[in-house]
Amino acid sequence: MPSYAHPLAWLLALEGVALLRTQAGDLGDAAFVEQRIAEIRRLTADRDLALSAGAVVGRATTVEGYAQWADQYDSEVNPLIVAEEPRVQHILSTLPPGRALDAACGTGRHAAFLAGLGHEVVGVDSSAEMLALAKAKTPDGTFHQADLRAMPVEPASFDLVVCALALTHQPALGPALSEFARVTRPGGHIVLSDIHVLSLYLGGVAKVGGQDGGVRAMPASRFLASDYIAAIHEAGLEIEACHEPRWGEVPGGHGGPLAQQWCPEAAAAAYHDTPALIIWHLRRPRK
């Protein structure tokens, strides 16, 4: 169902998370608590904020959303990608070259990296606009427009499958994990990354514009680590490693321009040292 967003509610939520972390003993002291309380009073007393218009947040499919994003996707600084890319590419650089599949490849950032490592690259994505950018980056690759739960590739035909920042858009993990297992050769590797469930609750749900000038949110399932583990085992895969990189400093500060204008210290406390991503290195057993 549609949600409702309000600027003042977002700011007060960040203040609340910062205070919860203080009460839990994570950070802050008496002065920090008093600063947060004083800031909440200022926020609620500000007439412009109090009278700011809230808005119903609609829903957009991933095909609709990424069609809007495609032209700006590589030019914008996405702090999630800044945190994700070095860690995923470090794992990829340790694996021998072979035949690699970039599932939900987007603009092809990992596909191009894999090609540079000497892999024969195939990419799959549901967005025609994103695929056009991926093809331009890796002209020697093969690309298909398709759903990652039903990819037009042969069984056991890849040494490596990568799926980055896409599984949260799925209603369930099982179908995608089973498809990754199907197309991976015995002994082959699967590397997954996605936004962490805690980052979704801190405002990380992807949003795009609506035709009426409003905002629409793309699908964002709240998968826990236990959900991944259950789906991984059900697909017959083995876990090599799991990483949960934490937020550090990000360009422009946490929480976006509104938070940086009104409560940057609370935003920094809300995000401090919380997990940004979950990254899995899996393997299909040889037998």
Q: Which one has a higher pLDDT value, 2 or 112?
A: 112
Q: Whose CA is closest to 144, among 162, 158, 164, 130?
A: 130
Q: What is the pLDDT of residue 1?
A: 62
pLDDT average, residue stretch 217-237: 97
User: What pTM was computed for the model?
Assistant: 0.95
pLDDT average, residue stretch 156-164: 98
* 114 close to 120: Cβ distance less than 8 angstroms: no
- Per residue in 245-278, pLDDT tens? 999 988 889 999 999 999 999 999 999 999 999 9
CA distance 87 to 73: 20
CA-CA distances (angstroms) from residue 122 to 106, 132, 158, 202, 260? 12, 14, 9, 34, 41
Q: How many residues does the chain have?
A: 287
pLDDT average, residue stretch 146-175: 97
pLDDT band at 74 (very low <50, low <70, confident <90, very high): confident
- Per residue in 90-123, pLDDT tens? 999 999 999 999 999 999 999 999 999 999 999 9
| Total Cβ atoms within 10 A of residue 211 | 7
- The mean of the pLDDT values for the chain is 95
- Per residue in 60-70, pLDDT tens? 999 999 999 99
CA-based torsion, 46, 51, 52, 58: positive or negative: positive
pLDDT average, residue stretch 141-153: 97
Decide if pLDDT at 226 tops 80. Answer: yes
CA dihedral 30, 33, 39, 44 (to 10 degrees): -130
Q: Which amino acid is at 40?
A: I
What are 182's two structure tokens? 């199907």
Domains in the chain, ordered, with CATH? 3-283 (3.40.50.150)
Range in 4-8, 38-42, 188-192, 213-217 the model is least confident about: 213-217
Q: What is the pLDDT of residue 2?
A: 67
